[in-house]
Amino acid sequence: MCRFVAYHGPPIGLDELLYEPDHSIIHQSTDAEEREEPLNGDGWGVGWYDPDRSPEPAVYREVRPAWNDENMMQVSPLVETPLYFAHVRAASPGLAVQQLNCHPFPGGRHTLEDRRDRRPVEEARQELMFMHNGGLGAYEDVLRRLREDLDEELYFGIRGSTDSEHAFAVIQDRLGEAVLDPDAADLAAAVRDGLEYLERLKHEVGRGAETTWANFCLTDGESVVATRYASPDDVPAQSLYVGEAGSFVSRGEFCGTDSPEGDAATLIASEALFEDDRVWREVPRNSLVTVTPDGETTIAPLDLDLPAV
């Protein structure tokens, strides 16, 4: 399993919420409180947007543990961004600890080919970013079928071996040409339909009772969509929280908000970054979180049409 955090709101220093909170994502890499195993040391990554420079995210991924990465500690105070993802990894059994398997994943096909040769859909996919906490049930049993169902660009765009990156390819496939100008509803539909497809594959190979944990998080640089999902019904879901405030601030040892009544800034996190009951609420099991470009955040049931186990 893993831990992640997403920020959407007024521009903030990248270091502000990476390092300063009492229970920051860096702290969760060594001492996660809502996992049986507290360590998440199999690599980590950060992705952020600078809309004035490019619609595509900058993505930094490193195989060393987050707690031992001096590079990002030096870089992050110089970056200001309105939207970022951060993820610390605990590799699933059998999935290699390597840079290509670290989250977050950038969208599209990333090679050294001339960018002018990309089709509009492929160009637009470069603006997406994705991360995942959990694991897909019966992954090895459905992998060949999953890859056969992908279009060629998405197939060859997968560079690592994780179930997470394959799930992202499926979601991009479901988004289709809506990726050219997606709104939050388009992203939410792609995540829902992609997850339903992955769960149906599990049933089709006779492994419907296998455990799936799918806390997904997807963005196009403007909207953010996340899920808290687990199956079958008797499996506890991985933790997920939403925090909302007018702004988030960190100075010295304190991180919180001086405007708790507002909702301009949103955090989606595996574990709350600091204690403040005015800000945080737990996302219910099997729910979909949507954050629109203007910061409106909604949580709705995630209903999938699946066969009975």
CA-based nearest residue to 187, from 151, 214, 223: 223
Residue type, 31: D
Angle between the N-to-C axes of helices 139-149 and 184-204, in degrees from 0 to 180, rounded to the nearest 10: 120
Rounded CA-CA distance 84/106 in Å is 12
CA atoms within 13 A on the CB side of 135: 16
Give pLDDT, residue 91: 75
Rounded CA-CA distance 11/48 in Å is 11
Whether 88 is covered by a domain: the verdict is yes
Rounded CA-CA distance 148/155 in Å is 8
In whole angstroms, how large is the CA radius of gyration of the chain? Answer: 18
Global pTM reads: 0.94
CB distance 6 to 14 below 8 Å: no
Whether 306 is covered by a domain: the verdict is no
Residue type, 37: E
Tell me how crowded residue 59 is: count the other CB atoms within 10 A of its CB: 17
* Count of domains observed in the chain: 1
Q: 172-182, pLDDT tens digit by residue?
A: 999 999 999 99
Cα distances from 35 to residues 28, 38, 51, 240, 264, in angstroms, run 10, 6, 35, 12, 30
Whether 308 is covered by a domain: the verdict is no
Give pLDDT, residue 259: 55
Strand partners, 47: 59, 85
Domain residue limits at 67: 2-301
CB distance 169 to 190 below 8 Å: no
Whether 157 is covered by a domain: the verdict is yes
Whether 241 is covered by a domain: the verdict is yes
The DSSP 8-state label assigned to residue 38 in this structure reads: -
Q: What are phi and psi of 276, to 5 degrees?
A: -170, 100
Q: What are phi and psi of 90, to 5 degrees?
A: -120, 105
Helices (H), the chain: 14-19, 25-31, 70-75, 120-125, 139-149, 152-157, 163-175, 184-204
Whether 250 is covered by a domain: the verdict is yes
Residue where the block lists tokens 């600078």:
50
Q: Which segments of the chain have a pLDDT < 50?
A: 252-254
Cα distances from 171 to residues 52, 63, 103, 174, 218, in angstroms, run 27, 25, 16, 5, 9
Give pLDDT, residue 255: 55
CB distance 162 to 200 below 8 Å: no
User: How many separate helices (H) and strands (E) can be counted in the chain?
Assistant: 8, 16
Give pLDDT, residue 261: 60
CB distance 62 to 72 below 8 Å: yes
CA-based nearest residue to 160, from 95, 216, 214, 63: 95
CATH number at residue 137: 3.60.20.10
Rounded CA-CA distance 247/256 in Å is 9
Whether 174 is covered by a domain: the verdict is yes
Residue type, 192: R
CB distance 171 to 271 below 8 Å: no
CA-based nearest residue to 1, from 110, 136, 108: 136
Whether 179 is covered by a domain: the verdict is yes
Give pLDDT, residue 109: 83
